[in-house]
Structure 1
Amino acid sequence: MSIATPTPEPSPDDITRGLAELERHLAAQPPTVAAPPPAPPASPVQAGGESKRVARLRAEVAEAHQLATLQDDDAPLLLDTAKVRKRRKAAHEAARLHELGQNPAMRAWQAARMRRLLVAAGMVALALALAWSTAGVQHFAADGAPAWSPSWVFAWLVEPFMSLALLVVVGARAYLATRGQPIESPTLVRIEWLFLGLTVGMNAWPYLPWSVPEGETFSLSRLVLHVLGPVVAVAVVTALPIILAAFTDLDHTRTQKADQGLTGLTYSANTHDPVRRTGAEPTALIERTRTLIAAGQLPATPSANKIQRALRCGMDDARAVRDALLAERLA
């Protein structure tokens, strides 16, 4: 078993020599240069020397200036859209039709057409009313005859020949009334009332209370239903000559405006000035607007609102001035 030999402690001279050798070693080594800190990343620059963000902001500002300049121009508002042109066309057509309707020849043509329509409708109503009463007259004229017997068949002819005779009288009076020559004959009037009275009587007689057969009860509705046709015929024969006489007395040269003395509507401008606008004042307003434009107080193409505020005039006058100035610029 070996015994470890203790290491002698260095002496002060040994420490001094060690430090001197370490200094010589460090002095012989080349100096170390510290690396510079990394530079921040450069922003992307366009070819013109501006970044994309600056260029984008510059374009946005330029666009805003252009929009601010153009939004005061009312020229787009003066253009007619498809809907406005459609309405203007319809209004123009309505005005032309109204003007044409005031022409005496057109008024006479309209009256003649309406008169023909009324006469045709009245004659159709009269024919249908007489045809309606044919069944009632046949029931009265047959007087209980067996079906398809000679009396029963000839009973169907009673109403038609009376109706044809009545239509001859009524048709003649109606036609001559349309020609301005109404027939005022008491004889024809009595003939009309005779035929109509016979028709009403023959339709109503079997259904009157004292004519109802035994075992049946009186029915007011049946009576009214059977006299309806003759009553309509009486109404048509009475009313048609009166209507045609009124058409004959029409004066097609008179208009509603002349009859009623109507005047055109007036309009008071919505202005703050105490003086009402006259017809010659828009010209003076145009001159004042030109002066304000030359002085720089109004833009070259001012809107109606700006003109109204600057001149303190009515909005209608402001629109007239705006349109006049725009027409001058476009001329």
Structure 2
Amino acid sequence: MSTKPQDAQHRPLSEVDKLRVEARSAAEVRALQTHPDVVALRVEKVRKQVDALIWVGLLLGLLFTMANVQTFAAAGAAAWSLPWIAAWLLDPMVSLVLIAVLLAEQVTARWQVEMRTRGTGPWVKRTKVFAFAATYTMNTWEAWADLHLAGIVLHSVPPAMVYLAAETGPILRDRLTEAVLHAAKLTDTDNGGHGALPPVDLPIVPLDLDTETTAPSRQRSRKPAKARKASRRVSRAEYLERARAAYRPGTMVTPAWVREAVPGISRGTSQVVANELRTELDNQHTVTTVATAPEATDPTDSAAASVDGRAA
């Protein structure tokens, strides 16, 4: 369940504050949408779609003309004869050269490089025109010979679309690149030549937007879980160390005393810790008693000492 936007004091926002929020959001969205990098990314997506559609239409048109060109080149030869098979090579020969030119123009138009220069001359344009003219002539020859109007229209549309796509594709790519450069120039001009415009900074009251009313209770419920997760289980050796530190001479070591001296220890663990501590204390008492006992005198040495005394 959502609640109305509130400020830091959890008071409902006024209409003015709401307008400030919307204005700031709109300014940030506008700044991002007109950013040159965002514009370039969107243009590249459109460029890919344009290239894909143009190439699909162009290839379909070339495939459509292949059958008529083969019929024109075969000139009534028997099926599967050598002239009939060789006739299938004529249309791909022309189409592949045209496709090679279009692939090169796809790259040069992307970076706005002029194909016709003083060194290269108009050969690119001439190659495209000749390939189109050859395809159109071979595709519509029989229709023109018979003056079949429907056949002329039918077989003229695919070559014409191939030529139009070949001429329009580079122009579209060049204009898309120009759109990216134009967006960058506009942004730089609006900002006085200092790059992209920063988002508009409007004064606004700090907000504490809670999208769900159950969020505070959910956060409170997480804290004990985190505390339990962060807590570490105490080992028996640590309990014994704590009991050893709390022991004083004369204290009766019992499980009850261990539970009192070491908070949080269980009843079973306190019994084990009490037994181990008593064992340690008994061992220490035994060692101390042995170390402080007087050294025993050898009877032989005593008798020899008394004889020596009487002789003297």
Report the TM range for the smaller structure's normalisation: 0.3 to 0.5
TM-score (norm 2): 0.48
The structure with more radius of gyration: 1
More helix per residue: 1 or 2? 2
